[in-house]
Amino acid sequence: MYLAAELGVPFPFLIIPQPSVENEASLFIFPYAASTDYGLAANLLPNDVYASAPFHPTGKKVGSFGVADNTLTEPNDQRQADYIYTDHTYTVRNFHEQMKTDYRDPPTNAYPAVVASPMAGTIAYESSLAGTGHHWGYASCEWLRHCDSMGAVGPKEYVGSQCSVTRRKTIISGYCFESDNGSMECGRTIDVTDKFDGITQMTHDSGPGQGVNRCPRGTPATGLGTAVTKRLLIGGCMLAGDQNFTQTAEVHVPQMCAVPTDYHKGCMFPGATNYDPNAKQPANCFYLTNGCTDSTAVNFNAEASIADGSCIAATYGCTVQPYGYTEVDSETPMYKKRFVGVPARSVGREIWATYTSVTNYKSDANVLQGCKVAIEGCTDTSAINYDPAANLNSRTWCVPSVPGCMMPPTGYPSLNYLGSGARAHQRDGLAINFNPAATVHDPTKCTLERFGCTDSKAFNYDPHATVDYGCYAKTPGCLDPNYDNYNCSSSCKDVTTDDGAVVCVAITAKCTDESPRVTTHNQAICSATAPSAPPIDPFEEVDTVEAKSDMTIAEEISECTFLLGTWDSMLNSGSSTCAATAGSTNIVISTPMASLAAYNAFSAKVSTTFPSIASLNSAFGVTALTVPTVTAVITYKTKSPDSDNSAAVIGGAVGGTLGGLLLIAIIVVTLRKKSTKVEA
């Protein structure tokens, strides 16, 4: 049903639902693209203005809200807000405000919004729109003069521009309108009737604003006289007590009321089975229609009034085909490419084109209800991969529980495990009893790989060893390197003389190929005499003792005093000095000792204070490669033959002992100082 705004609004408007993406084309409102040439026939659009508009259509002026253009002194006197442009859509409030009439916007409500769309371009004339339906009336239009649509004698006049003539010394006002031949004429509606031409609806001075009513668009009035034309019914608020009450409204539009409310709602189309001749607000209409009238049938037609036996009884069930590719075009991407992950070694992903979709397909169902989606998986609660969500176990999904050692042997881990520096030695590994059939790891069932002697009777028996590696028998012999038969299991060896006698000849050289090897020391087997210690010079005694600690770091530095504070503090020493020499800098820290006994104590303390590379790193902030090397520097002073030599003898004995110990205890240490790399 087409409805028009009040005739008191100078420009003709249609009252329509608010445009949306779905209905904008049917409401004569079209999108605009700046890159499209609307001058081409292929791009013409129904409002017929794109082809002639040199800019965006909304910039093309097509009408006026009652401006008296012919009274303007120059065109730029016009107020842009008083004009109407192509494709503008106005709210109902807009044209009421332009007409200076009071209007209150309705609150947000359940009714769909309505707007006022300008009637221009290819939108049919009101007489044509009215003649296409059952809802129309008549209007009597008095012609006043021609409007200056070209601006030949003054500012250009538009549809809706205020115009007037003087007759019998009386000024008669009207509005410019578009006649049935497209010319622009000045006129006014003097009265309206319904379609039966029997009831006067309004007079020429009953409109809003200036009391003038426009002539309907397409009125055949181009010269003196009065022309009668069909018109659209007027839409508005018909609630007498509402603030937005429209006196001339013929069809109730709830959205145009300040408080939207239905008013005499019913079917307004004759011929419908529920036609209501008194209805003022459109409602659904029903016509004599063949169809299924059974509301329980799947093809029930709510608008059918004549049962034609076409009803189809509803059968509820799952209508989804169980086979996932049923009725699917074979050209569809990924056709029959559904896949599953098979829980078996070296299998993994596997294409399964017959993967089931549902478990309860019902072939005779015609109403979808209650499908159960197929979820493949293990349904055995005792399996380690039991899936509580699975409802279909059509393949060998289940993995039985088999406890065992799942730690692999040493040869299986990544190279990082076996790589340089990753393992301190190669004598310990992973498991030796890996069970490839196990599915549940049980650490208690694993036997770890440990190389060693597994013979409890052997000298080097390792109770923790699991892989036999090099046992040595308990073989007594001489293990004192000061004897001639060092590393030998006897003091002599049998030799056959020329006369055939067997004699045991003393061993005078160390054994290198003894088999089995000597593993325990037996002093009785040692032969010859151990070399005696060098004599102590009675004329020498210890003068000074100094401990020298050698270290090497990777970077070249010129001074090493940064070590001394921590060194003296941790070792409870003092007056230490240090020297650094180039080439992976070698550092020597010199610490004076009070005596040989003090040196022995200091040397032992270095070993206990810095037992590992990590302890050096922590103390000095370096990266060490070995632990410190401590050596003694001893100077002697010569005593006169007449002096008491007992002290010198004791000192020499102690010094000799110390020297022997030092030769055994010397350890070389290399340190690398930590640094921060700075890049440009």
Domain end call among 218, 241, 266: 266
Domain end call among 532, 558, 574: 532
C-alpha 354/C-alpha 356 separation (Å) is: 6
C-alpha 238/C-alpha 528 separation (Å) is: 140
Do residues 17 and 113 lie in contact, with contact meaning Cβ atoms separated by under 8 Å?
A: yes
The reply to whether 407 and 484 lie within a common domain is no
Burial of 176 (0-12, 13-18, 19+ CB in 10 A): buried
- Structural domains in the chain (count): 4
341 in any annotated domain? no
The reply to whether 506 and 577 lie within a common domain is no
pLDDT in the model for residue 540: 60
Closest CA relative to residue 217, chosen from 225, 208, 227: 227
pTM of the model: 0.47
**185 - beta bridge partners?**
146, 177
The reply to whether 176 and 37 lie within a common domain is yes
The reply to whether 418 and 557 lie within a common domain is no
The reply to whether 470 and 492 lie within a common domain is no
The reply to whether 85 and 223 lie within a common domain is yes
- How far from 412 is each of 359, 405, 418, 446, CA to CA, in Å? 44, 14, 10, 15
C-alpha 334/C-alpha 330 separation (Å) is: 9
The reply to whether 470 and 481 lie within a common domain is no
pLDDT in the model for residue 393: 86
The reply to whether 126 and 23 lie within a common domain is yes
- Angle at the Cα of 233 (from 231 to 235), degrees rounded to 5? 140
The reply to whether 156 and 117 lie within a common domain is yes
Domain end call among 532, 557, 579: 532
Residues 6+ apart with CB under 8 A from 287: 271, 272, 273, 303, 305
The reply to whether 164 and 205 lie within a common domain is yes
**What are the structure tokens assigned to 34, written together?**
């700046």
Domain that residue 19 falls in: 3-266
C-alpha 565/C-alpha 588 separation (Å) is: 15
The reply to whether 590 and 522 lie within a common domain is no
132 in any annotated domain? yes
Q: Which residue in the block uniquely carries the two structure tokens 């529920």? A: 274
What does DSSP assign to residue 156?
P
The list of the chain residues with pLDDT below 50 reads 24-29, 48, 50-51, 53-56, 203-209, 529-539, 641-680
pLDDT in the model for residue 658: 32
The reply to whether 495 and 460 lie within a common domain is no
What does DSSP assign to residue 617?
H
